[in-house]
Structure 1
Amino acid sequence: MMMGQKTDCRKDCQISSHLRDVPPGKFLMIRHPLSDEDFIREFSDAELPADTRLKTETYLLYPGIELSYNYFLGDRFRFHHRHKDCVLSIDHCCRGRIGWEMKDGLSLYFGSGDLAFHATDKCADSLITLPLGYYEGLTVSLDLSVLRDTLPELLRDAELDICALCRSFCGEKETAALPASPRIGHIFSEVYDLPEKMRRPYLRLKCQELLLFLSMTGPSENTVFDSFHSEQAEIIRRIHDAMTSDLRKRYTIEELSRQYLINTAALKSVFKSVYGMPVASYMKQYRIMRAAELLRNTDRSVSEVASEVGYESQSKFSAAFKDIMKILPTDYRRQYI
């Protein structure tokens, strides 16, 4: 992958402001207990790549229910954590994209606005990939062994069956995800920008709202997208690296299918799962974002930039640039002179 684009994405992303107190290669964990005790702040001793910075901030909301804000910058890293076997994790992605390669050879990728579900014993020792270089989201962890007997009052009044809820979304597959929707967006629209004083009471309400919503909605066969084998994800990353290493060269799906021994349907499906867009749409955006970087940071002519990112025709390049950036390349460059 061209690191220039990823680095630029990281600078522009709001997540960086949450990681000002995290040095490169470090993982900061902050934990707020149920009591009025002071929060716990410590760095993990996990070994991480030098360009990776991680931070989680966890709030215990009720016995058996906790919520963590997650801020990640990096490419790929190992993630170790200890959980009971009977804990269900519900993850919401605010921005970026994330993929878990779990035990049993399964991978699950999701992006902005999506909800993902998995049993935490599946990811106790997993390889995490950030296809866009960054991820911000939150995790609701449900300890079923505790919640069977001590549901919060509102959920008891609603006669919520927490075990049935967990089975409906994970069941035998143990991992699943729901794509972004207006109803999911409504639940999470304000939880990422709360004043500290209001966080715990507001998160308690929102967590219960989420569980009631899921109990009423249930998974739909038409909307749930599934995990796939990690070997397929690795092939797709190699294909991605090949396509982005030299943007002057253009590949067809059929060429890539033959070269990497993956059928065309799987290639298109898994690529969209990993990177969040169809191959052609992703590469168009990648080329234009790289072109924008060259226009900002070099004195190359528009025609030279167009050629470097794979456009033989300057007029086609200008049209594609305007489609993505909503401005012509010449006008875009003027903003940075």
Structure 2
Amino acid sequence: MDNQHRNEWYGPEATMFKKCDGYNLINYQCEGTGTCLDYSLFPGIDLIFMDFNCSDTFREPMVNRDILDIRHYRQGRVEFEFQNQKAFHMRENEFCINTLTNMPASYSFPLGKCSGVSFVIDRDSLDSATIQQLSLYGIDIKNLGRHLELDAHWYICKTPQNLLHIFDELYEAKGKESAAYFRIKILELLYHAQKLRSEDRYAAVYYSKEHIEIVKQARKLLIGELETKIPLESLIAGENISMVTFQAIFKQVYGDSPYAHLKKYKMNCAAVRLREGKESISEIAVSLGYSNASKFSKAFQDVFGVLPKDYRRQKQSI
């Protein structure tokens, strides 16, 4: 893979390209880790597995090509920001098809972690043999998605049942199967993609970058003082945002209401400390703002399904 391919498809943050058995490995320069596994399936059609564990913002490369991008995320959330300072979020187990016309300016991962898969179809690079081969399965690759009005907006929906097993099998086969296997899966995926219905589309909800930043700063305050319960009103005091909008954006970005998100965050912190085994359950409870171990134990059980003492015992026996 040459430098032109790197800059065009992956952007300047992509720093290392390594040819592996059947795929190219791309690493990103970021505060954490970012990798892609790129399988070339047909001329003009690539399968890309994406795994990020970082909070960086990445610029989306702009290429002058007829691109169709089919994506699915199995973990985390992705924030897509556009040139007009608006953004929307794609969630776990959502499915989308997009063209270059509506490509965002940048993307990031509000929860820090994200993994997914993308089929990138460069219709300018398709050769006649590939077009003919796909047509044998009833796939009109040049007109794929036209009925979904992709030039006007993204097609986003809950992943249809007939596509769920395909994505599950793709994730399971990552790094194990050859490109030949993934060619079979893309044929199956494209066959079903032609049958998507416009009426199943979600209406993407966009919020201003200004309001999203207010929400992110509020979350930092929430998780920065775990021993103290902070009233939500104080988090947005003096800010140009209503409580209704604040709560709606918080749920879109992080998947839960502020206090539900904080509870899960606290319990995940507690789980780490329980595994380390250096503190008593009472000490952990107090440090996380619980007046007694009983209330903490109930909250932990709500999130993990077991009591803290049992969780510690299970982890220490491994």
TM-score by length of 2: 0.79
For residue 76 of structure 1, the aligned residue among 56, 65, 80 is: 56
Tell me which residue corresponds to 2:16.
28
- One-letter amino acid of the counterpart of residue 52, structure 1: G
Distance 1:73 1:79 in 2: 16
Tell me which residue corresponds to 2:67.
87
- One-letter amino acid of the counterpart of residue 220, structure 1: E
Tell me which residue corresponds to 2:279.
300
Secondary structure class of the residue paired with 2:170: coil
For residue 189 of structure 1, the aligned residue among 144, 150, 168 is: 168
How far 1:286 moved relative to its partner? 0.7
- Once the two structures are superposed, the pairs formed by residues 102-113 of structure 1 within 5 Å of their partners are 102-113=82-93
How far 1:193 moved relative to its partner? 2.8
Secondary structure class of the residue paired with 1:189: helix
Secondary structure class of the residue paired with 2:169: coil
Distance 1:335 1:40 in 2: 39
Pair 1:311 & 2:290 matched = yes
Is the 8 Å Cα contact of residues 95 and 112 (structure 1) preserved in structure 2? yes
Distance 2:269 2:22 in 1: 46
Pair 1:249 & 2:228 matched = yes
Is the 8 Å Cα contact of residues 31 and 59 (structure 1) preserved in structure 2? no
How far 1:253 moved relative to its partner? 4.3
Tell me which residue corresponds to 1:96.
76
Structure 1 stretch 196-205 or stretch 68-77: which is displaced more?
196-205
Distance 2:65 2:211 in 1: 27
Secondary structure class of the residue paired with 2:199: coil
Shift in CA distance, 138/41, structure 1 to aligned 2, threshold 3 Å: closer
How many correspondences in the alignment? 303
How far 1:245 moved relative to its partner? 0.7
Distance 1:179 1:101 in 2: 21
Distance 1:146 1:278 in 2: 45
Distance 1:81 1:31 in 2: 22
Is the 8 Å Cα contact of residues 147 and 162 (structure 1) preserved in structure 2? no
How far 1:141 moved relative to its partner? 1.0
Distance 1:233 1:148 in 2: 43
- One-letter amino acid of the counterpart of residue 237, structure 1: K
Is the 8 Å Cα contact of residues 93 and 138 (structure 1) preserved in structure 2? yes
Tell me which residue corresponds to 2:309.
330
How far 1:323 moved relative to its partner? 1.6
For residue 144 of structure 1, the aligned residue among 123, 131, 140 is: 123
Tell me which residue corresponds to 1:170.
150
Secondary structure class of the residue paired with 1:216: coil
Show structure 1 runs of 5+ residues with no match.
1-24
Shift in CA distance, 104/96, structure 1 to aligned 2, threshold 3 Å: same
Secondary structure class of the residue paired with 2:50: strand
Shift in CA distance, 158/247, structure 1 to aligned 2, threshold 3 Å: same
Tell me which residue corresponds to 2:113.
134
Pair 1:271 & 2:259 matched = no
Structure 1 stretch 142-151 or stretch 244-253: which is displaced more?
142-151
Shift in CA distance, 38/197, structure 1 to aligned 2, threshold 3 Å: closer
Shift in CA distance, 81/159, structure 1 to aligned 2, threshold 3 Å: closer
CA RMSD of aligned residues (A): 3.3
Q: Which string of whole-angstrom CA distances, capped at 9 and with x for unpartnered residues, describes residues 176-195 of structure 1?
A: 53234543321211112327
Tell me which residue corresponds to 1:231.
210
Secondary structure class of the residue paired with 1:83: coil
Tell me which residue corresponds to 2:99.
119
Shift in CA distance, 248/294, structure 1 to aligned 2, threshold 3 Å: same
Shift in CA distance, 302/42, structure 1 to aligned 2, threshold 3 Å: closer
Shift in CA distance, 81/87, structure 1 to aligned 2, threshold 3 Å: same
Shift in CA distance, 310/218, structure 1 to aligned 2, threshold 3 Å: farther
- One-letter amino acid of the counterpart of residue 58, structure 1: D
Tell me which residue corresponds to 1:5.
none
- One-letter amino acid of the counterpart of residue 258, structure 2: V
Shift in CA distance, 166/78, structure 1 to aligned 2, threshold 3 Å: same
Q: Which string of whole-angstrom CA distances, capped at 9 and with x for unpartnered residues, describes residues 221-255 of structure 1?
A: 56454444333322221121111111123244444
Distance 2:239 2:158 in 1: 29
